[in-house]
Structure 1
Amino acid sequence: MIAILVVTTADVVMRYLLNSPLSWAFDLVVHYLLVAAFFLGFPVALGRGDHIAVDFLARKLPVRLLHAVLFPACCAGAVLLGVMAYYGSLEVISAWRADEVITGVILWPVWLAKLSIPVALWPMSVRLVQIAFAHGATALDSRRFPFEAPKFHVAED
């Protein structure tokens, strides 16, 4: 995010004060930095348990039932993210082999713009499998956990 701020500020200063904008700034920010900031933030949020959750029903369920419901949900999410990561990886490889570029003043490589997607989604898929097993173990025996699953952040009513 700091890189986006610095590049955008430099472009605005160059454009309006010196009448000489940075011709590459828009492509860098839009095709690389925003995509990376968006996708690479997912694993961090998942690891901290910071994703948005609609949990009004979850708070009413018994602990073991809640974990029994979250187990298949996390498994399904892991499969979905794994499929997305796999096809994202194929897109990166395809763009690399075809030597695809984004046309403009600078010929930016497309594979680099697409790389943050599988880089973010593969570890998220693995982490969701780990979380799913934690929920499954807790559903079976709520007194013993193999590891701690991320907690819900409960908003005050």
Structure 2
Amino acid sequence: MKSPLQPLYTAMEILSGLALIAMVGIIVTDVSLRVSGGQVPAADDVSGYGLVAVLFLGLAPAYRRGEHIRVGLMVDRLKGRVRHGLEVLLLALGFTAVAWATFWCGRLVWDSWRFHDVAQGLIAIPLWIPQLAMPLGLGTFAIALLEDLIGMLRGATPSYLVHAAASAEDALTFER
């Protein structure tokens, strides 16, 4: 079943990709300019902010496709109601942890905006701008976890297991 929130996850994926492209562009430009004795001001800072954006904005899309590293040593051995109960518990704990992190990252962004914090590098970039990727990405990740949690409580298979099954099927087809 396709999620009604898929446009949100796609938007995060696009933003993450754009941040990656911008980061690579800045690094390549800086390296190219150094050959001729120039440089891009604050290239290290800006590419670091881009890396944070790539990672945080890509959390929900990667989760939805089952691309996060998931250690299922115990869960994969369980069956039936016990496994379902443990999956629900783990989704609830994951959602709680990510929602908590979202709140505090949002608070960090708010404080940076309120106190007019700026980067200490060559360019005084207001810190709330690059920091905004953290609560935005984490918040979307929390929504994805909550969507799967609600789906599991209604008897649906969570997105990460749907994609894991499809990937396993593809691997078997490839081997034949």
TM-score, scaled relative to structure 1: 0.84
Deviates more, 1:58-67 or 1:113-122: 58-67
Report the CA distance between 1:47 and its aligned residue. Answer: 1.5
Counterparts of 1:51 and 1:135, CA distance in 2: 19
Report the CA distance between 1:58 and its aligned residue. Answer: 2.7
The ranges of structure 1 where at least 4 consecutive aligned residues each deviate by more than 4 angstroms after the TM superposition are: none
Note the alpha carbon deviations across 1:77-119, whole angstroms, 9 max, x for none: 1111111111111111110011110122211111112111110
Note the alpha carbon deviations across 1:30-88, whole angstroms, 9 max, x for none: 1x201101111111111212111122333321133211101011111111111111111
Task: Report percent identity of matched pairs.
Answer: 25
Matching of residue 153 in structure 1 with residue 164 in structure 2: yes
Runs of 5+ in structure 2 lacking a partner? Answer: 1-19, 172-176
Q: Give the greater-gyration-radius structure (CA).
A: 1
Match of 1:62 in 2: 79
Runs of 5+ in structure 1 lacking a partner? Answer: 139-144
Written as runs of structure 1 = structure 2, the 5 A alignment for 1:1-157 is 1-16=20-35, 18-30=36-48, 32-138=49-155, 145=156, 148-150=157-159, 151=161, 153=164
RMSD: 1.8
TM-score, scaled relative to structure 2: 0.76
SS in 2 for 1:101: coil
User: Structure 1 or 2: larger helix share?
Assistant: 2
Report the CA distance between 1:129 and its aligned residue. Answer: 1.8
Counterparts of 1:55 and 1:82, CA distance in 2: 23
